[in-house]
């Protein structure tokens, strides 16, 4: 497998990061200037349709190779880390145009990106669209305009690989460690038996390359998301249709509730995955995917510890918009013996 140089990425990320967008609440208003800024570049920008409330949905195209890749982010409006990573990825290609990584990607791949599939949900900071439809559970009914647009792009591009970018909650940890799941991966199942098909093997192969890179930078902070089959889910259905679909779930890193460190790791994974696709011909090796630790629910945001853990109290942040600003509101979740749980912050109760 071909791996990126982690030192090169770390040394140059400050030049790559798209500083105009940051934090958790990313809307169409925030990224529309970035679309407009691409108009004189080699990246094609096109409005492919509108959301339920009439907001523009954009498609970007780049590359001239035979390997077709489709990337989308923010199908859940309140999951924006992948969107930030997408624009970091585009910056890398533009700011290092002669680098071997960029040349390999541009020469060997044709990439289509929908950076914000659900602009209404992004504006309202909700998972669902304006009609309360979860786009990630609408791959069969295609009830939402946004779901229909994504399906039309899929049929137009006919991708060999897809990247489905999401955020996961701070409750997830990496099994066998005391670390949060900062990035989690999934090669979706195609049916209830979770058979490891040839397509899933190819998906797993790309994930192995991404995980190998991240283990150099954030060792033991990467999890493997459950491959339970969801009959109406986008990734499961796209994989079933023959489009190898890689799910990237951006999670928590110590002290990073704005997910600015996590966006960096998300960008590294995305760049590594696409570079790997661009530079190899065989995607058969997959076994190391099965060794990635499970993603487990074992974290709270805050736990107040009591004597002998008899009256521990756990709290979780609720993400919300207050006075037109993103806010985290701490709410009580559970009380009792919580010795089996971890927390991103722990305190000792005085009594």
Q: What CATH superfamily is the domain 6-297?
A: Zn peptidases (3.40.630.10)
Query: Among 85, 24, 37, 105, which residue's Cα sits nearest to residue 318?
Result: 24
The model's pTM: 0.97
Domain definitions of the chain by residue range: 6-297, 300-348
At 1 the pLDDT is: 60
- Cα(301)–Cα(171) distance, integer angstroms: 7
Query: Among 5, 83, 8, 37, which residue's Cα sits nearest to residue 260?
Result: 83
* Per-position DSSP letters for 163-212, written without gaps between them: EEEEE--TTEEETTSSSB-SEEEE---SSTT----HHHHHHHHHHHHHHH
* pLDDT digit string, tens, across residues 32-76: 999 999 977 899 999 999 999 999 999 999 999 999 999 999 999
Which residues neighbour 106 within 8 Å (Cβ) at sequence distance 6 or greater? 62, 63, 64, 65, 93
Low-confidence ranges of the chain (pLDDT < 70): 1, 351
What's the whole-number average pLDDT of the chain? 97
Max Cα distance, the chain (Å) = 66
* pLDDT digit string, tens, across residues 159-211: 999 999 999 999 999 999 999 999 999 999 999 999 999 999 999 999 999 99
Instruction: Scan for tokens 């853990």, then name that residue.
Output: 309
């Amino acid at each position: 497998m071909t791996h990126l140089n982690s030192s090169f990425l770390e040394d140059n990320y400050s030049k790559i990061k798209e500083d105009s967008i940051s934090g958790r609440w990313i809307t169409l208003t925030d990224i529309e200037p970035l679309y407009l800024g691409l108009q004189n570049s080699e990246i094609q920008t096109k409005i492919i349709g509108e959301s339920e409330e009439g907001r523009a949905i954009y498609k970007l195209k780049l590359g001239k190779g035979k390997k077709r890749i489709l990337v989308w982010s923010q199908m859940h409006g309140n999951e924006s880390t992948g969107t930030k990573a997408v624009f970091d990825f585009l910056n890398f290609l533009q700011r290092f145009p002669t680098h071997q990584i960029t040349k390999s990607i541009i020469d060997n791949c044709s990439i289509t990106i929908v950076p914000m599939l659900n602009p209404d949900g992004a504006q309202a900071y909700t998972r669902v669209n304006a009609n309360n439809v979860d786009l990630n559970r609408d791959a069969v009914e295609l009830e939402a305009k946004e779901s229909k647009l994504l399906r039309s792009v899929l049929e137009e591009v006919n991708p060999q690989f897809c990247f489905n970018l999401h955020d996961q909650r701070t409750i997830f940890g990496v099994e066998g460690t005391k670390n949060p799941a900062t990035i989690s991966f999934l090669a979706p199942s195609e049916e209830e038996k979770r058979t490891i098909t040839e397509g899933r093997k190819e998906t797993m192969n790309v994930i192995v390359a991404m995980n190998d890179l991240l283990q150099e930078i954030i060792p033991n902070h990467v999890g493997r998301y459950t491959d339970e089959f969801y009959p109406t889910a986008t990734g499961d259905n796209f994989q079933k249709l023959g489009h190898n679909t890689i799910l990237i779930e951006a999670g928590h890193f110590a002290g990073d509730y704005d997910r600015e460190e996590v966006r960096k790791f998300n960008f590294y994974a995305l760049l590594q995955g696409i570079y790997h696709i661009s530079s190899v011909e065989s995607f058969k090796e997959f076994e190391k995917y099965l060794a990635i630790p499970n993603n487990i629910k074992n974290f709270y945001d805050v736990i107040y510890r009591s004597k002998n853990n008899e009256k521990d109290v756990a709290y979780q942040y609720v993400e919300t918009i207050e006075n037109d600003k993103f806010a985290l509101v701490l709410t009580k979740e559970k009380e009792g013996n919580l010795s089996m749980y971890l927390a991103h912050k722990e305190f000792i109760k005085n009594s």
